[in-house]
Amino acid sequence: MQISVTFKNLPPSEHLKTYVKEKLDRFDRLLDNPAEASVVLSVEKFRHMAEISIIGDRLSIYGKEVTDDMYSTIDMVLDKLEKQIKKTKAK
């Protein structure tokens, strides 16, 4: 999976990048064809936001989550995306 990570109002962190990439690697087994994921991690005051868009062959899903901890935000948005992928595959 091709992954691009963007940071807004947040210093770039290799640890966050590797965390996101490890979590997104589990979607490779769910997807039939190679996909492209764009991740935007941003901070506004005390809100940590994660937006993930996955675009592949006949698949386009988007998830956004806001909490006060970046790691829990990433986990929650990935859970949303996993549900969406399973739902579209069931169709």
What tens digit of pLDDT does each residue of 69-86 get?
Answer: 999 999 999 999 999 988
Largest CA distance in the chain: 40
CA distance 81 to 52: 8
Give the pLDDT score at 58: 82
List residues bridging with 48 in a β-sheet: 43, 67
pTM above 0.85, yes or no: yes
Sequence-distant (6+) residues with CB within 8 A of 43 are 8, 9, 10, 49, 70
- Residue 42 CB-density burial (10 A; 0-12 exposed, 13-18 middle, 19+ buried): middle
Give the pLDDT score at 37: 93
Per-residue pLDDT of the chain (91 residues), as tens digits, is: 899 999 999 999 999 999 999 999 888 888 888 889 999 999 998 999 999 999 988 889 999 999 999 999 999 999 999 999 889 888 7
